[in-house]
Structure 1
Amino acid sequence: MKLRRDDVIVGVDTHKDEHVAVLLDGLGGRLAELFIPATIAGFDTLLSFCREHVGAEGTIVAFGVEGTGSYGIGLARFLRRHGLTVHEVHRPPRKGERRMSGKSDTIDAEHAARQVLSGRRHPVPKAAAGAVEALRLIKVARDTAVKARTSAMITLKATLVTAVDELRAELEPLSDHKLITVCAALEPGGELDDPEAAMRHVLRSLARRWLELHEEIKTHSRHLKVQTKAAAPRLVDAVGVGLDIAAEMLVTAGDNSDRVRSESAFAKLCGASPIPAGSGKTNGRHRLNRGGNRQANAALYRAVIVRMRWHQPTIDYVARRTAEGLSKREIIRCLKRYLAREIYRLLPPPSVTREASAGPLPRAA
């Protein structure tokens, strides 16, 4: 970047209730710092404060914001609406750099600004303002309900182990659904200070909780099915890519899917890209990528397992690579990389149109 001293780069350390901003000039000099509430009024104050520090011929170059998917999402949306460039910056490392410079909100904000000033390419934040964001929210509700339903079943079965022999002998042989149905119809048959009556009360409570969660999950699943098919019909039709996997891939890419520059960048985002690990006389070696979105990585794994069982080209590929001496784990890693490439090409175009800037930013008086 060719910057002038009149230019301003802003770094923001975000928190739930308060954000901290540090302003740098185009040559890296520190101009000012500002503490603002995490509200629209606070965002307006920050923008006015930045404009006051822009020189006569300078501009607000960019904002480096931490946590654009959590505490910083409101600020990122506000800045985009005003036509400003927002970069998602990483928090400073816990060791090394922090050991030398210390830790505070202003230090972290300055670190964010200097990451932008360095000219390195940073991730573009998700727009979080379209159909995919709505899909993500429904998926959050469904996933948490599934976990709670599983927990209820595990707790019910663990509690049943300590029941009296007659009740245990009656209920344990039943299938899961039959067990839930029978337990939901149990009556305590006495005061709850009696262990047997308390056992029946708890089993009924857990079973009814499971049934309520089951109905909730069905409702979320219907919405998820309709919205996923509407957002990415080609992706849903891919072999081994069901609605749940398609939804996870859409959420990973975001509404502004063009923020992912290439299929290799998408593979890295999903943790499916091999990492070079060669040095000296050891060249060409790669290691497993343990980064990226682990939920997306798990979704790729599930799709690959389905293809290894039912997709003939994948079955042939597995046979060929096995004959070459690769292990099953190594073959799955290769298949996840190939599947990430295929899914990237099936992603729908961006569903959110970025708002154009209304005009040049006002200069400081």
Structure 2
Amino acid sequence: MGVAKVFIGVDPHRLSATIEVVDGRERLLASGRFGTDKAGYAAMRRQVAGWPQRVWAVEGSNGVGRPLAQRLLADGELVVDVPAKLSARARLFDTGHNRKTDAHDAHAVAVVAVRTPTLRVLSHDDELEALRMLVDRREELTRQRVQTVNRLQRLLSELLPGEAKKDITALQVKAMLARVRPRDLAGKTRRRLAVELLAELVAVEKKIKASTVELRAAVLARGSTLMDLHGVGPVVAARILADVGDVARFADRNRFASWTGTAPLDASSGEQIRHRLSRAGNRKVNHMLHIAAASQIRLDTEGRVYYRRKLAAGKTRMEAMRCLKRRISDAVYRQLLADARAAEKTAKSDSVNADPGGHCGASL
């Protein structure tokens, strides 16, 4: 008789993790709360060591649960990702209320793992993890630049009323500050703060440029051809690669579009056939597709022709934009599949070339 498989539901936090071990019939086998430090992690691994056939189900493996999930993957564990929506639904159905405790959360995560065989299986990939960190850092720098520009705009509107620009650059700010020489204490302080913010803006823009160059090199080193698509630059390609992981987990382009949030939801009722905008899916990737669509509309591309054709057919600008985003989503899916096939073919060719095979020797 073989050893039964168990499912370990994990409710992760920054300093602790609560687990619950259940079998295939959702019977409780063990539970506990452990620290996320080295000693706590080792104790958690020891508690479940008696079940060799185990599946770790981590809630929010792309968020607060990512560090723990990556540690488990690095140690060769089988880890699946449980979306927070599924665990909340399971908690509500099992308890009759949606009150959260760590124990209830861990139980709900384990139950979802038992009942949902199609959960995404995580894989350990150092390159993708590094790419994800780089693109996250790039987004942080972009937000920092926006905040710095907004503070500069506020100070410039007080120093030079009526001369504020919508999209201001560091060179424009420098030229504007060179023209103003306040004599009062408040004006001098305001100008000094603006000069400091200008220095911060120059520094963050330099970091953004360097980060973009690094992302481009990382995407190309990955063997991706996503940047061949119009509107898809290093940042968009890096975010898609980092969040998609293995494209084989999507059965077809429709599943991929549902994950990217570009597939409209059916809201038909009776004889009235209509669809509504989907707010589900990966919102970061959806935003990247929106950037690609806006770039295609702005430039002379096939996407721009498609967009205008939808407008001529009577669709609104937002509806035409949604159609274009779905079109780009399908193109990205095809490109990811092509890259995966090319990488697989290259790997097979390398393995064949690495095998010397049989060699004929001299016969006596």
Q: Same fold (TM over 0.5)?
A: yes
Question: Could you tell me how far 1:201 is from its partner in structure 2?
Answer: 1.5
From 184, 195, 198, the counterpart of 1:204: 195
Question: Could you tell me how far 1:90 is from its partner in structure 2?
Answer: 2.6
- Give unmatched runs, 5+ long, in structure 2: 348-364
Question: Could you tell me how far 1:182 is from its partner in structure 2?
Answer: 4.2
Match of 2:18 in 1: 20
Asked if the contact 1:24–1:31 (Cα under 8 Å) also holds between the matched residues in 2, the reply is yes
Does 1:258 find its partner at 2:245? no
Does 1:228 find its partner at 2:225? no
Match of 1:339 in 2: 328
**Secondary structure of residue in 1 paired with 2:29:** strand
**Secondary structure of residue in 1 paired with 2:110:** helix
Match of 2:258 in 1: 268
Asked if the contact 1:10–1:24 (Cα under 8 Å) also holds between the matched residues in 2, the reply is yes
Q: Which has the higher contact order (CA 8 A, sep 6+)?
A: 1
Asked if the contact 2:88–2:98 (Cα under 8 Å) also holds between the matched residues in 1, the reply is no
Residue-by-residue CA offset, 1:219-253 (whole Å, 9 max, x unaligned): 21221222223324421111222222222221221
CA gap 1:261/1:125 in 2 versus in 1, 3 angstroms: farther
Question: Could you tell me how far 1:113 is from its partner in structure 2?
Answer: 0.8
Asked if the contact 2:212–2:234 (Cα under 8 Å) also holds between the matched residues in 1, the reply is no
**Secondary structure of residue in 2 paired with 1:334:** helix
2:88 partner letter = P
Question: Could you tell me how far 1:149 is from its partner in structure 2?
Answer: 2.0
Match of 2:350 in 1: none
CA gap 1:226/1:186 in 2 versus in 1, 3 angstroms: farther
Asked if the contact 2:17–2:34 (Cα under 8 Å) also holds between the matched residues in 1, the reply is yes
Asked if the contact 1:50–1:60 (Cα under 8 Å) also holds between the matched residues in 2, the reply is no
Asked if the contact 1:66–1:112 (Cα under 8 Å) also holds between the matched residues in 2, the reply is yes
Match of 1:277 in 2: 267
Question: Could you tell me how far 1:72 is from its partner in structure 2?
Answer: 2.3
Does 1:148 find its partner at 2:144? yes
Question: Could you tell me how far 1:115 is from its partner in structure 2?
Answer: 0.8
Does 1:111 find its partner at 2:72? no
Question: Could you tell me how far 1:110 is from its partner in structure 2?
Answer: 0.8
**Secondary structure of residue in 2 paired with 1:87:** strand
**Secondary structure of residue in 2 paired with 1:162:** helix
Output the CA distance in 1 between the equivalents of 2:67 and 2:295: 39
Output the CA distance in 2 between the equivalents of 1:120 and 1:21: 20
- Give unmatched runs, 5+ long, in structure 1: 354-365
Asked if the contact 1:228–1:243 (Cα under 8 Å) also holds between the matched residues in 2, the reply is yes
Match of 2:354 in 1: none
Asked if the contact 2:132–2:243 (Cα under 8 Å) also holds between the matched residues in 1, the reply is no
Match of 2:61 in 1: 68
Asked if the contact 2:261–2:280 (Cα under 8 Å) also holds between the matched residues in 1, the reply is yes
Output the CA distance in 2 between the equivalents of 1:240 and 1:25: 48
Does 1:125 find its partner at 2:122? yes
Match of 2:47 in 1: 49
Question: Could you tell me how far 1:319 is from its partner in structure 2?
Answer: 4.9
1:15 partner letter = H
Question: Could you tell me how far 1:336 is from its partner in structure 2?
Answer: 1.4
Question: Could you tell me how far 1:63 is from its partner in structure 2?
Answer: 1.8
**Secondary structure of residue in 1 paired with 2:8:** strand
**Secondary structure of residue in 2 paired with 1:135:** helix
Match of 2:207 in 1: 216
Output the CA distance in 2 between the equivalents of 1:346 and 1:73: 27
Asked if the contact 1:235–1:246 (Cα under 8 Å) also holds between the matched residues in 2, the reply is yes
Residue-by-residue CA offset, 1:32-91 (whole Å, 9 max, x unaligned): 211111134433322332233x4xxxx534221112123322332343344432211133
Question: Could you tell me how far 1:126 is from its partner in structure 2?
Answer: 5.7
**Secondary structure of residue in 1 paired with 2:330:** helix
> Which moved further from structure 2: 71-80 or 268-277?
71-80
Does 1:247 find its partner at 2:247? no
> Which moved further from structure 2: 314-323 or 210-219?
314-323
Does 1:138 find its partner at 2:127? no
Number of positions where the alignment pairs a residue of Structure 1 with one of Structure 2: 337
Residue-by-residue CA offset, 1:331-354 (whole Å, 9 max, x unaligned): 22222112111111212439999x
Output the CA distance in 2 between the equivalents of 1:303 and 1:291: 19
1:49 partner letter = Q
CA gap 1:201/1:188 in 2 versus in 1, 3 angstroms: farther
- Aligned pairs (5 A) from 1:74-93: 74-91=67-84, 92-93=87-88
Residue identity over aligned pairs, in percent, reads: 25
Asked if the contact 1:186–1:201 (Cα under 8 Å) also holds between the matched residues in 2, the reply is no
Q: CA RMSD in A?
A: 3.5
Asked if the contact 1:187–1:201 (Cα under 8 Å) also holds between the matched residues in 2, the reply is no
**Secondary structure of residue in 1 paired with 2:158:** coil
Match of 1:360 in 2: none
Question: Could you tell me how far 1:175 is from its partner in structure 2?
Answer: 6.7
Match of 2:362 in 1: none
Question: Could you tell me how far 1:187 is from its partner in structure 2?
Answer: 11
Asked if the contact 2:261–2:283 (Cα under 8 Å) also holds between the matched residues in 1, the reply is yes
